[in-house]
A and B are shown apart, each in its own frame.
Chain A
Amino acid sequence: MSETETRENSSQTPTPASVAGPAGPSGQQDPSELIRPRSLTGNVLPKWFLPATAAVGVVVGFVISYLIGGQSVNYALWFVLAAIIYVLLSYLVTRQQLNKRKATDGLWRNLVYVAFVIALIPLISVIWSVVVDGFQGITHSSFWTQDMSQNAARTREQAIHEGEAPMGGGVLHAIIGSLLITLTATIISVPIGLLTSIYLVEYSRGGPLSRGITFFVDVMTGIPSIVAGLFGVAAMQTILVMGNQLGLWSYTAGNYSMGITAAIALCVLMIPVVVRTTEEMLRVVPNELREASYALGVRKWRTVLKVVIPTAISGIAAGVTLAIARVIGETAPILLTAGTLTRVNWDMFAGSMMSLPVYIYQTFRYPFGGPGELAYLSEQRAWGAALVLIMIVMTLNLIARIIANVFAPKKTGR
């Protein structure tokens, strides 16, 4: 069968009109037929086709993987086979029933679907495992109310001897530490970031200073977080030495391990994010509003404060919240600057501080009671802390959305 005949056949099969069409079979395909078929109907597959093909793929994939895997189910193999069968089957059937163009179209659409599902797998997997493993942790009675100090005081022998029953301990100190450090970092970063972006958008006129700021902000968004931690340490040591020399305080050398040091380190990570998001939000405020304000005889700073920022506040608040969510999960800089601690510390300026990410690291790496029979308790607590962290980040995202909705300029009211 020649190529021409094949094409002729495939284009005729589904369309009754093409058989009885006015032109009739001509031997040569009219190129315009590619774009405009001769009949309105018969050029689509029924709606149940794709779900049915997917079901076939899932079932056949299961059977094959069951047989290959020796009577047991391998989920990865099942998924791969189901995806391949679904994509191939729908392509071949479409090509046979309709035409090559539609088949190619469907092929790419199916590949996009499959890529979407693949991208979803790790996401769902992470959330699933954290929720399942973390649930046991957070339902321990002591999880929310205690720190780890009494556990640290117990020797390994005591722990084994007394069993898990008195084995309390929780993440209270880590939650307090995380919130305090992040809050302080936010209090420092937001004014700096906000004012920087106001300078960039409202005051600079594209001069070298503004281009320099933009460049360095871009560079700062990319620096590794451990470098930020080192910066925090170096900055705090400088400040402490200066204070000692001026007689403001007397810290012993190298005693930089404090909550405020971690907050300074996090600022380095946070400021560029705040500058970037706020700058974009300020830029989308229509110039007409500024001009309207100027035309009423309002000064520039009042215009910025009372017209530009309120108009952009929803985006700014959302950006700030996302910046908080980004730094609250940082581990390395906090471990470097605030260190670890087993008890609650409310003082940002004295002594180490525990935070949730460091707590997870610490508890996983060095379980209480040693890597023995009681290690599973520490693991549960670590997963629980991970769940708490995810919950905090999710809450922050929700808050960002709520803020964005509440502060958004009112559109209706008619």
Chain B
Amino acid sequence: MSKSITAKDLNVYYGDFMAVEGVNIEIAARSVTAFIGPSGCGKTTFLRTLNRMHEVLPGARVEGELLLDEDNIYGAGVDPVTVRAMVGMVFQRPNPFPTMSIRDNVLAGYKLNGARLSRSQADDIAEKALRGANLWNEVKDRLDKPGSGLSGGQQQRLCIARTVAVEPDVILMDEPCSALDPISTLAIEDLIAELKEKYTVVIVTHNMQQAARVSEKTAFFNIAGTGKPGKMIEYDETSVIFNNPSNEQTERYVSGKFG
């Protein structure tokens, strides 16, 4: 199920503009890794290269290698759509499909791809995914209601359930709690702790306490100035990053002296 991620000298470009430069990182399977850093430093861009979502923007390209276990996802003949089926993503703002019911939202990965599911199969998948996202008890009586009727935190967990339902190897989360209240944030954080039993989780966050709470390893990204590429400054155990970072920039950032 779960796979490790290895980036080797990864550069990300938007057209001629180099957005992220020279990332080398090894993310273990079944772990939670947090990306922290100031806005615009390339954390989200790098996260999106992990499932080739950045290619949605025109002119985006990548140099270097990105291995999912042993396979280079930027290798010749690799279909980005297949990569995205293996590497799921949860976005900053909850984005359930407004035309679909809660149940259909969970099954979206199957239904949109035209998979034929029997009634019982579909029910099993939906229940399993919703239980996996700690949402089952809240929505089990209204599975046929629209997903947009849920609260923000519930919608975000619905999006996680949608991602979990297709059983990816890796789950990427792009500031999943930044639009949520503390209670909903807590629910998501608990969920992340459970997800890492089965999946490799990578989370981008602006909330350093959150990074400290949920992650095992933390990568700090920074940018030298406007127009310069973002770089990964330091990558280590979370406790090391927050208590005893080796880099001065990291130390200044986590102690709140800048950014």
Contact = CB atoms under 8 A, between A and B. Distances in A.
Interface string B71-112: 000000000011011101101010111110000000011011
B149 A413 contact: yes
Interface string B136-166: 0000001001101110000000010011001
The bracket for how many chain B residues form the interface is: 20 to 34
B112 A302 contact: yes
A293 interface: yes
In the A-B complex, list the 8 residue pairs whose CB atoms are closest, starting with the nearest.
Answer: A297-B85, A413-B149, A409-B98, A410-B146, A413-B145, A295-B89, A288-B95, A296-B109
B159 A292 contact: yes
A413 B99 contact: no
Interface of A: 205, 286, 288-299, 302-303, 306-307, 310-311, 409-414
B28 interface: no
* Max chain B C-beta neighbours (<10 A), residue from A291, A292, A413: A292
A292 B95 contact: yes
B53 interface: yes
Contact of A296 (B148, B149, B163): B163
A310 B95 CA distance: 15
A23 to B, nearest CB: 51
A310 B98 CA distance: 9
A76 B226 CA distance: 68
Given A296-B112, A297-B85, A297-B166, A291 B53 contact: yes
Most B-side CB within 10 Å, residue of A290, A296, A409: A296
Nearest to A311: B99
A409 B148 CA distance: 9
B256 interface: no
A303 B108 CA distance: 11
28 contacts: A288-B93, A289-B95, A289-B97, A289-B98, A291-B89, A292-B97, A292-B162, A294-B53, A294-B84, A295-B53, A295-B84, A295-B91, A296-B84, A296-B88, A296-B108, A296-B113, A296-B166, A297-B86, A297-B166, A302-B113, A311-B97, A409-B98, A409-B148, A410-B146, A410-B148, A411-B149, A413-B142, A413-B149
Contact of A297 (B98, B109, B114): B109
A306 B58 CA distance: 23
Given A294-B53, A295-B88, A298-B81, A410 B98 contact: yes
B130 to A, nearest CB: 16
Given A205-B58, A413-B149, A414-B149, A297 B113 contact: yes
Given A306-B111, A307-B97, A413-B142, A294 B56 contact: yes
A291 B89 CA distance: 9
Contacts of B108: 292-293, 296
Given A295-B51, A296-B88, A412 B111 contact: no
A307 B98 CA distance: 9
A413 B97 CA distance: 14
B91 to A, nearest CB: 6
Interface in B29-85: 51, 53, 56, 58, 81-82, 84-85
B53 to A, nearest CB: 6
Contacts of A411: 98, 146, 148-149
B259 to A, nearest CB: 27
A286 B98 CA distance: 11
Contacts of B111: 306
B109 A298 contact: yes
A307 B112 CA distance: 8
B227 to A, nearest CB: 23
The residue among A290, A302, A409, A413 with the most chain B CB atoms within 10 A of its own CB is A413
Nearest to B102: A413
A135 to B, nearest CB: 43
B108 to A, nearest CB: 6
Contact of B114 (A296, A302, A410, A412): A302
